A and B are shown apart, each in its own frame.
Chain A
Amino acid sequence: MEYSVRYTPFFMLACVLIVSLVVGLMSRRQDKGGYGLQVRSIGHANIGAAIASNWMSAASFLGIAGVFFLNGYFAFAYILGWTGGYVLLLVLMGSQIRRFGKYTAPDFVGARYDSSVARVISAVIAIIISLIYCVAQYKGIGLVFAWMFGIEYTQALIFGILVTLAYLIIAGALKAARNPQMHYLVLILSFVIPLMMIAKKLGYNWLLPQFSYGNALRDLPEQVSSAYLFPWTFGSPYEWIALCFTLMVGTAGLPHVLSRFYTVPNTRDARWGVVWGIFFIGLLYWSAPAFGAFARNWMERSGVAFDPVEAQAIADIIVIKTAEWVGVNELLVSVLAVGGILAAISTITGLLVTAAGAVSYDIYYRLINPNANERHLLLVAKGATLILALIVLVIAVNPPGLIAQITAVAFALAGNTLFPVFLLGIWWDRANKYGAIAGMLVGITITFAPILFGHIFPLLRTVLPPTSSALIGAPLVILTMIIVSRLTPPPPEHLRRFLVEKVHSP
């Protein structure tokens, strides 16, 4: 470990955060003209960029390259899961959920199943998903800050949490609006341009590094190269398929992905936005494995031995390490580091706000104190944000896996609980609150059983890997919901009528 402060990325990060606040202030002023009107005039590509910027977290920016660096072909399960999930979302429930007209997952569950118990369970699930997702983001922030300041991971993590909370408070106090299109543009450029320079330095086609990384892989010694190219070196077919499927249903059930469908004026625009959204997300995912491939290529050239333990430790910042190793301009290395932090911070602020909202509104207001006024609720939300951040800190001090793996657990939870509840809620009028409650409880059990009891029953982890439990879990939960719903009275008529007349009419 080198213990020296890297000033360039530090100053760049400070500048970018300040600029983003200023831009946020300016776009707030422009917004006064009317939000809906403005969106309609800017088209589907902009909606797609908003979807992509909402999506791109540290898992996409830092995590995928790390998984590819370690596991080659296996990383494609992440890439395909996180793009193919949008197809599932669009095809199965995009329009219908939009026509249902509820903005958050607990709101939808509460309204569709007409039950405050189901609502509270789904709120708790949404909060846990946010927490797990945040842990992964903070691992990224901690690693990058540790690299930036030459300090230990734990110190860097605490510093990172303070920075994000400060940013959240300042942005909240200034009521700064986020400009998602600009955010996406900054992120994708700060990912692809350094990658092009890395390819150039190593002597590969730099215009399309997405294609030339194949050559970088083939140029490795045969044994190494075939390990990367052969599909089953780092995981069995079952593991690959289970992971890919889990991430897909998780994407379709993730609360913050769903709520994107409501910031758009109409269903049709939302649907077309998804096409662009996958394209914009794809730009990042086409490029991410190239970092891993070029990193490995550089290691072989420079005679650096591949130590599995050390590789595991640096995999999550391999994007930055590659640029530094290869020796591209320091500014570009900094751009990558700042991009990773930005992706993480924006995801965290979104998730913490969602989770705090669920605590204050869905749990506190609905369950504990229905007489609370707005100021009171805001106070609860602020307190919840702090407590949630503390919980995240405690878990993130000892991160249980790679960024992408931690994130995948959040997807497994969403796929095992919210996905079935949304799916049957829309496509089966007979699904009732008893089914939903039983289904979500079974889903939570399936998600966490292998994590909590995996060391006692190793078979549990083989059949239900924590990152990939939804291949078996989601169908099981759907079955549970069907059986329990059939055994209990049907939902009230007004709900079923609403489904027919509103949700399923053209």
Chain B
Amino acid sequence: MPHRNLQNPENMEDLRINFFRPRAGFMRKEVTIIWLTLAAWGVMTFGMPIHLAFTHNDPARTLSEVPYIFGIPAYFWYSGQFLILWFIFLCFFFNILIDWLGSSYRRRR
């Protein structure tokens, strides 16, 4: 645990902070949560335009082939409205996890 290490003079020198090599304990778990959220953010946001870029080049065909929801193409609704809900959910989920992590570490300390 990082905060114990700090009180131990032998380990005083280790002050490394690196997102890709997080310190054991709190930071490693925190970074795991961050990676999870970032993945869910990136895939959902940029996955749709990348998918559309590869599969849909012809307006007439696209609009007759894609599924519809609320009277508009599903991808249209997804980008214009659903993703904002998804962002809210992601922040909610992230906060719950960070709250849990923080309180468990503060208790241990």
Residues of A within 8 A of B (CB): 73, 76, 79-80, 83-84, 86-88, 90-92, 95, 210-211, 214-215, 217-218, 226-227, 229-233, 237, 240-241, 244-245, 268, 271-272, 274-275, 278-279, 282, 285-286, 289, 427-430, 493, 496-497, 499-501, 504-506
Known interface pairs A229-B72, A429-B16; A501-B94 also in contact (CB < 8 Å): no
Residues of B within 8 A of A (CB): 2-3, 6, 15-19, 23, 26-27, 34, 37-38, 41, 45-46, 49-50, 52-53, 56-57, 59-60, 62-63, 70-73, 75-77, 79-81, 83-85, 87-88, 90-92, 94-95, 98-99, 101-102, 105-106, 109
Query: What are 16 A-B interface contacts by the 8 Å CB criterion?
Result: A73-B79, A84-B45, A90-B91, A214-B70, A214-B71, A229-B63, A275-B88, A275-B91, A427-B17, A499-B15, A500-B2, A500-B15, A501-B6, A504-B23, A504-B27, A505-B2
Which residues of the other chain, A, contact B99 by a CB distance below 8 angstroms? 268
- Bound state CA distance, A496 and B59, in angstroms? 54
Contact A274 B91 (CB under 8 A): yes
7 closest A-B pairs by beta carbon, nearest first, are A237-B53, A214-B72, A230-B59, A427-B19, A496-B15, A506-B105, A429-B17
Known interface pairs A218-B72, A278-B87, A506-B26; A90-B59 also in contact (CB < 8 Å): no
Which applies to chain B's interface (DSSP): helix, strand, loop or mixed?
A: helix
Say how far B74's CB is from chain A's closest CB, in angstroms.
11
Contact A286 B75 (CB under 8 A): no
Contact A87 B101 (CB under 8 A): no
Contact B59 A227 (CB under 8 A): yes
Contact B77 A278 (CB under 8 A): no
Say how far A354's CB is from chain B's closest CB, in angstroms.
25
Which residues of the other chain, A, contact B105 by a CB distance below 8 angstroms? 506
Given contacts A91-B94, A215-B71, A218-B72, 19 further A-B contacts (CB under 8 A): A86-B87, A87-B87, A88-B38, A90-B94, A90-B95, A211-B70, A214-B71, A229-B73, A231-B56, A237-B53, A244-B49, A272-B95, A282-B84, A282-B87, A282-B88, A427-B17, A428-B19, A505-B2, A505-B26
